[in-house]
A and B are shown apart, each in its own frame.
Chain A
Amino acid sequence: MTNVIEASGLVKRYKDVTALAGLDLEVPEGTVLGLLGPNGAGKTTAVSILSTLLEPDEGQAIVAGKDVRKDPKGVRRLIGLSGQYAAVDEHLTGFENLDMIGRLYHLGKTRSRERARELLEIFDLTEAGDRPVKTYSGGMRRRLDLAGAIVAEPPVLFLDEPSSGLDPRSRVDLWEVIRDLVTEGATLLLTTQYLEEADQLADDIVVIDHGHEIAHGSSDQLKTQVGGERIEVTVSELNHVDTAHEILTTFAVGEIRIDHHSRGLTAPIAGGASTLTQALRDLDARGVVVQDVGLRRPTLDDVFLSLTGHVAEEEAAAGNGGRRANRPEELEEASR
């Protein structure tokens, strides 16, 4: 399979920061590459370079057979870009936005109009099509923006954090739309902060931090690399920690981490909820009082923690909050 996007050694420096520090990317035809990383990792810079918005300081990139440096206009004819913020004109109607983009791709008056109506239909915006965009919800704006990216049916698509700022429902709807685009043969590079999103959409994932690749593989490969699922237990008495450790060792498929200060143990396991249930029974049988327990699947935080030894900035706080909220239910389920 030929690579539709091929970049090597991309470097981009701003005054005080290095946004990209030698990034290589390869996206075979008809596949989806997920570029995963926290804010400031260099995802948008990479997309900007590949979509000719920015010139790299070093390195080169070929998109759909054209060199982004030597033939940017050629590249622009073959790509569609949907940026991080829905770049639609809110005073124009949905139809007018799409029609304008069609005209600027030089599709001609008739075809632009026809295509605009087609896309409104595909993206479920027919009814709202003749209303100014400022009356649209966030999800509708993102859909319209995405529609804008495929007006000219480009073979290559760049989606920069397509679901940022969307509620879970709209996010799932958007994924559906993106999957359809790929089924129709588009090659896609998408950036995201969420492992789940990459998991859902990408064939191949490149994790980046501080402008360079720190991991590369399919979603399953990455999760395995991170260590799969794990049990987190907090015991109520400090002198129970060793007993708990002993019990968890029988279930663990890797090294158990112990934090004496918080009386917490983290054990990588296999087998999910049934393993957790069994572990809880054993702990109970030995008289270990469990204060808190949870079954965790790897998150982006874990990928980061395990790959870089540091927590992805900004993501950490939100991630923790989410996990804590899950625990009571998991515990309930486990003790039933």
Chain B
Amino acid sequence: MSQLMTALGDGAVVAKRNVIKIKRVPEILVFVLLSPIMFVLLFAFVFGGAIDVAGGSYREFLIAGILAQTVVFGATFTGAGLADDMQKGIIDRFRSLPMSRSAVLVGRTSSDIIYNALSITIMSLTGLLVGWAIRTSFWEAAAGFGLLLLFAYSISWIMAYIGLLVPSVEVINNASFMVIFPLTFVANTFVPLETMPSALQTFAEWNPVSAVTQAARELFGNIPPGTPEPTVWSLQNPILYTLIWVVIFIAIFAPLSIRQYKRAARR
């Protein structure tokens, strides 16, 4: 128990440090907030006209997809932050302190939720301006946002592991792109699945990003009435399916990351 308290306390100290950084380097925040706005505008006004969503408006369909994509991209901050600390020797300093071995990672993944919460807020406001609407209750909508953040948190642990493996911040951006790009684009985020060739469609149906998007659409009430039921289990039970992935990601990558942290001496 006291060990757990120490771990949480240390994690909070590290998280506080990262939060101070958000305040001190507003440039990062501007970037974090502007890019989703650009995505909303790009898809709503440039590509949107070419994409048909049966029985509904594309902009309503779009926002949940962009939210899912944004939070997954937001998770790369975890990896970049850790790679940066590693490069600057700050991880070495932490590792020489009698602090909990999970604290740096817990602190980092937790504080990165703040980035994601901020970008979700800005994006939702942008979405409302271009014609998005939440058609469900407050609690259902809150559950939708909560699920998006929880999913992003689990992806943060994957990125934490990658961040500790790669030699520099430059590499992490490319490395994470390789993972994130197919996950967020070969999915129902921007286009209806029916338009894809069958192999890709199968991948997209079981892609956890599709599930979290589908779940968010359901919780925000953005699925037009009369839309046929999905044919696969993953999209019929998107909330449960998303939660299963959240558990899997954290169960695998939290211990892996902590193990990597323990041996990650800068040479």
Contact = CB atoms under 8 A, between A and B. Distances in A.
Interface in A43-100: 44-45, 48, 51-55, 73, 76-77, 79-81, 83-89, 91-92, 96, 100
A53 B13 contact: no
A87 B98 contact: no
Given A54-B265, A148-B93, A87 B88 contact: yes
Interface in B246-267: 263, 265-267
A191 to B, nearest CB: 14
B60 to A, nearest CB: 40
Given A81-B93, A81-B96, A104-B99, A44 B17 contact: no
Given A48-B265, A103-B13, A76 B88 contact: no
Interface residues of B, number: 27
B21 interface: yes
A89 B89 contact: no
A85 B89 CA distance: 7
A96 B89 contact: no
Given A76-B96, A106-B6, A91 B20 contact: yes
A53 B25 contact: no
Which size bracket describes the interface of A in this complex?
20 to 34
A256 interface: no
Contact of A91 (B21, B92, B103): B21
A106 B96 CA distance: 14
A53 B98 contact: no
A10 B17 CA distance: 36
Interface of A: 14, 44-45, 48, 51-55, 73, 76-77, 79-81, 83-89, 91-92, 96, 100-101, 103-106, 132, 148
Interface of B: 6, 9-10, 13-14, 16-17, 20-21, 24-25, 88-90, 92-99, 103, 263, 265-267
Given A48-B92, A87-B92, A91-B21, 17 more contacts: A44-B267, A48-B265, A51-B96, A53-B265, A81-B92, A86-B89, A87-B88, A87-B90, A89-B17, A89-B21, A91-B25, A92-B17, A92-B21, A101-B93, A104-B10, A105-B99, A106-B6
